[in-house]
């Protein structure tokens, strides 16, 4: 009975890692759509989000039925409740990728991001993708050290966002209000993807150690 339960719990974490991989692809494609202005790539992110939503519902149903039928306590209970929270955050990261793709689509046939800001935005996209990729592995391996390291790297994203603001608020900015607003919102979306990645990683730390690193920081 307990063994079957732990197999089911492992299966939930396997599903979470699978959703995280889908989110990683969504982030990568959304950045590609943004940098190329390719409408088909943007559409793939937007239409692909339904798959992430369905996968989330399946994990929720599975976790809920484990809670209900197996009546776990202590560490097992903590793990299932954490899984429910993690899947909400992963789904949200998918939504944020859709927001990025929609800005790309809105500016077709142009590219939303002016040339001189492209390096900063491309780097934000890379950092977000890399963080989501690391979260997949952190979930699969229950890797506490990698999770704590991820939290430290969040500062890189904050710094990139500050750089993008410096660029669009400089006297030399010649791309008008619309492009500036796009960049401010895109920066916000990437920053939120990174925040959620850190939060999901912190939940893995909580599952393994019983201690949530985010609580101490608040």
**Interface with its own copies (CB under 8 A):** 50, 53, 57, 64, 67-68, 71, 73-74, 77-78, 81, 84-85, 88, 165, 168-169, 173, 176-178, 180-181, 184-185, 188, 215, 218
Q: Residue 33 or 168: which CB sits closer to its own copies?
A: 168
Q: What is the biggest distance separating any 2 CA atoms in the chain, rounded to whole angstroms? A: 68
Smallest gap from Cβ 119 to its own copies, in A, equals 19
Q: Name which of 40 and 51 has its Cβ closer to its own copies.
A: 51
CB of 141 to its own copies, least distance (A): 25
Residue number, 38 or 105, with CB nearest to its own copies = 105
Whether the CA torsion 206, 133, 5, 7 is positive or negative: it is: negative
Shortest separation between residue 115's beta carbon and its own copies, angstroms: 17
Residue 143: DSSP 8-state: -
The CA-atom distances, in angstroms, between 45 and each of 34, 94, 97, 124 are: 11, 9, 7, 18
Nearer residue to its own copies within complex by CB, 143 or 206: 206
Give the up-direction half-sphere exposure of residue 133: CA atoms within 13 A in the CB hemisphere. 9
Structure tokens at 51: 């798959």
Task: Please report, in angstroms and rounded to a whole number, the separation of the first and last CA atoms in the chain.
Answer: 39
**Structure tokens of 46?**
């937007």
Shortest reach from residue 169's CB to its own copies, in Å:
6
Q: CB of residue 40 vs its own copies: minimum separation in angstroms?
A: 23
- In our burial notation (b when 16+ CB lie closer than 10 A, e otherwise), range 125-140 reads bebbbbbbbbbbebbb
**Cβ distance to its own copies smaller for residue 133 or 187:** 187
């Amino acid at each position: 009975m307990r063994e079957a339960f732990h197999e089911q719990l492992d299966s939930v974490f396997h599903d979470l890692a699978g959703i995280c991989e889908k989110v990683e692809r969504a982030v990568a494609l959304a950045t590609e759509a943004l940098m190329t202005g390719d409408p088909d790539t943007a559409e793939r992110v937007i239409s692909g989000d339904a798959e992430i939503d369905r996968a989330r519902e399946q994990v929720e149903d599975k976790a809920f039925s484990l809670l209900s039928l197996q009546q776990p306590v202590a560490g097992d209970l903590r793990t299932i409740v954490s899984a429910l929270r993690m899947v909400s955050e992963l789904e949200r990261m998918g939504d944020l990728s859709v927001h990025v793709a929609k800005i790309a689509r809105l500016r077709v046939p142009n590219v939303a991001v002016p040339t001189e800001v492209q390096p900063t935005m491309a780097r934000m996209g890379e950092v977000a993708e890399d963080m989501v990729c690391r979260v997949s592995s952190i979930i699969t391996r229950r890797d506490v050290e990698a999770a704590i390291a991820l939290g430290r790297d969040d500062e890189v994203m904050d710094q990139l966002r500050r750089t993008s603001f410096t660029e669009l608020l400089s006297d030399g900015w010649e791309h008008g209000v619309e492009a500036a607003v796009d960049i401010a919102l895109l920066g916000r979306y990437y920053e939120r993807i990174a925040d959620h990645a850190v939060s999901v990683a912190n939940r893995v730390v909580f599952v393994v150690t019983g201690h949530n690193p985010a609580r101490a920081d608040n």
